């Protein structure tokens, strides 16, 4: 992904780890030049081994570059991409600068837009504020409506943080019922506190009080999953559920954090510096500059290979022996800063949440996988669960106090669902 304005943004969201990155380029104007743009587009499209390339713009806030920059990027792709190549575009934005002209361009050029929004007003505004300290909800919601009016293809990116983590259904239902979106990308906020008190680098074994807690994260996913699997399969798409379904089906994870190795999420800074990952834009992870060294050479470098394979090779034993390793893979290395119960370093801070979530969804994922393998549709799960629950409700209604509980817990009814 490319960051044409580096870390610069017109907002000042309190949990944003990008904002501090401005310190890495002191004195920079943080604007990608036409030369870097052209070099990036031509090297990137020409390096593909498949007839498709996805140009992903990210920030900071990329729309600060102005519309002409992106018009030019599309023209350059048309000039430089090999014949027959299909180039598509994505952009992650806070939406506040979008207007009719932007939306027309985004639709005409086939951009897929990710809109950053953390739920309804009071939850969104908890951290997503502008430089004057005011909430941004109204401006972001306006952007969503504008894109809907212009038929721009967009999804929402929702960070799960200390403020909204306790309100999973409020957040999910807001996206589904009020905003009317179908694709929701969740991302847990885990901010490591560095020894100087900043959150600039992926260092330190404590987190800010804005970060989501491990159990809280698991509970959030489970609550949303429960709602989704009973009524929204096939019409709402949540990145973590799609990725889990892919892992259970054995077709490879759909999110880099659940891949066995890293290496497919490199980040290009405004000046052509290429980093191993957008979460590791820091000096130790700089591969080089694409204006000096061809991008394919940087991508194929030993440093990049090591970074990618470390994700698998540095897993602690606790993970290697974990029953949900196939789905979790130890998640993102940036979050691996706690000790295992054996005292081994490198356990993911969110482990408890993932263990709980993956264990919880396992029975349902198995049914969905069987449905797909037998040529049926995954959304049949909703009817299957409804039937199971009806049978269970009937059994509960007829259970005697000393009978085994019909839920299968192994406890007596009076000590389980019949309690009280």
Please state, in angstroms and rounded to a whole number, the distance separating the CA atoms of residues 341 and 352. Answer: 12
Structure tokens at 30: 């943080």
Residue from 243, 324, 367, 381 touching ligand SF4 (CB under 6 A): that is 324
Of these residues, 118, 125, 273, 278, which one is catalytic? 278
CB 338 within 8 A of CB 348: yes
CB 100 within 8 A of CB 146: yes
Q: How far is the CB of 234 from ligand SF4 (least distance, A)?
A: 27
Residue from 114, 238, 279, 281 touching ligand SF4 (CB under 6 A): that is 279
Return phi, psi of residue 344, to 5°. Answer: -85, 135
- 244 in contact with ligand SF4 (CB under 6 A): no
Q: Which residues contact 195 (CB under 8 A, 6 or more apart)?
A: 203, 204
Please state, in angstroms and rounded to a whole number, the distance separating the CA atoms of residues 225 and 138. Answer: 28
Name the residue among 329, 315, 317 with its Cα closest to residue 358. Answer: 329
- 355 in contact with ligand SF4 (CB under 6 A): yes
- 330 in contact with ligand SF4 (CB under 6 A): yes
- 312 in contact with ligand SF4 (CB under 6 A): no
| DSSP secondary structure string for all residues of 334-386 | GGEEEE-TTS-EEEETTHHHHHHHHHHHHHHHHHHHHHHHTT--GGGHHHHHH
Q: How far is the CB of 132 from ligand SF4 (least distance, A)?
A: 32
Closer Cβ to ligand SF4, 218 or 288, answer by number: 218
Taking the chain, what is the end-to-end CA distance rounded to the nearest angstrom?
A: 55
- 354 in contact with ligand SF4 (CB under 6 A): yes
- 233 in contact with ligand SF4 (CB under 6 A): no
Closer Cβ to ligand SF4, 124 or 192, answer by number: 192
* Angle separating helix axes 351-373 and 381-398, nearest 10 degrees: 110
Closer Cβ to ligand SF4, 43 or 348, answer by number: 348
- 318 in contact with ligand SF4 (CB under 6 A): yes
Closer Cβ to ligand SF4, 111 or 318, answer by number: 318
Q: How far is the CB of 319 from ligand SF4 (least distance, A)?
A: 3
370 is catalytic: no
Task: Give catalytic residue positions.
Answer: 278
Residues that bind ligand SF4 (CB under 6 A): 256-257, 262, 265, 277, 279, 311, 318-319, 322, 324-325, 328, 330-334, 348, 351, 354-355
């Amino acid at each position: 992904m490319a960051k044409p304005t580096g870390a610069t943004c017109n907002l000042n969201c309190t949990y944003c780890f990008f904002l501090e990155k401005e310190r890495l380029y002191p004195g920079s104007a943080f604007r990608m030049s036409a030369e870097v743009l052209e070099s990036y587009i031509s090297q990137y499209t020409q390096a593909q081994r498949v007839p498709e390339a996805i140009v992903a713009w990210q920030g900071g806030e990329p729309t600060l570059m102005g519309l002409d920059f992106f018009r030019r990027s599309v023209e350059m792709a048309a000039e430089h991409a090999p014949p027959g190549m299909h180039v598509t575009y994505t952009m992650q934005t806070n939406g506040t600068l979008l207007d009719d002209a932007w939306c027309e361009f985004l639709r005409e050029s086939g951009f897929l837009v990710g809109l950053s929004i953390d739920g309804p007003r009071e939850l969104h505004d908890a951290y997503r504020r502008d430089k004057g300290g005011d909430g941004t909800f109204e401006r972001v919601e306006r952007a969503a409506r504008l894109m809907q009016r212009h038929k721009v293809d967009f999804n929402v990116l929702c960070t799960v943080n200390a403020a909204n983590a306790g309100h999973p259904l409020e957040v999910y239902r807001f996206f589904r019922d009020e905003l009317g979106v179908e694709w929701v990308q969740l991302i847990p906020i885990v901010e490591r506190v560095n020894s100087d008190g900043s959150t600039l680098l992926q260092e330190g074994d404590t987190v800010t009080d804005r970060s989501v807690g491990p159990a809280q994260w698991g509970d959030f996913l489970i609550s949303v999953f429960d709602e989704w699997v009973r009524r929204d399969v096939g019409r709402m798409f949540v990145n973590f559920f799609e990725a889990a379904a892919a892992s259970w089906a054995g077709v490879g994870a759909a999110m880099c954090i659940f891949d066995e190795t890293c290496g497919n999420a490199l980040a290009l800074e405004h000046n052509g510096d290429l980093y191993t990952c957008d979460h590791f834009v820091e000096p130790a992870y700089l591969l080089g500059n694409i204006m000096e060294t061809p991008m394919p050479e940087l991508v194929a470098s030993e440093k990049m290979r090591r970074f990618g394979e470390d994700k698998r090779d540095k897993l602690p034993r606790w993970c290697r022996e974990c029953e949900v390793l196939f789905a979790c893979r130890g998640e993102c290395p940036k979050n691996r800063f706690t000790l295992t119960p054996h005292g081994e370093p490198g356990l993911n801070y969110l482990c408890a949440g993932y263990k709980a979530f993956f264990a919880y969804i396992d029975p349902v994922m198995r049914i969905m996988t069987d449905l797909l393998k037998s040529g049926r549709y995954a959304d049949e799960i909703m009817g299957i669960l409804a039937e199971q629950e009806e049978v269970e409700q009937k059994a509960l209604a007829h259970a005697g106090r000393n009978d085994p509980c019909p839920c299968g817990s192994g406890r007596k009814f009076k000590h389980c669902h019949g309690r009280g």
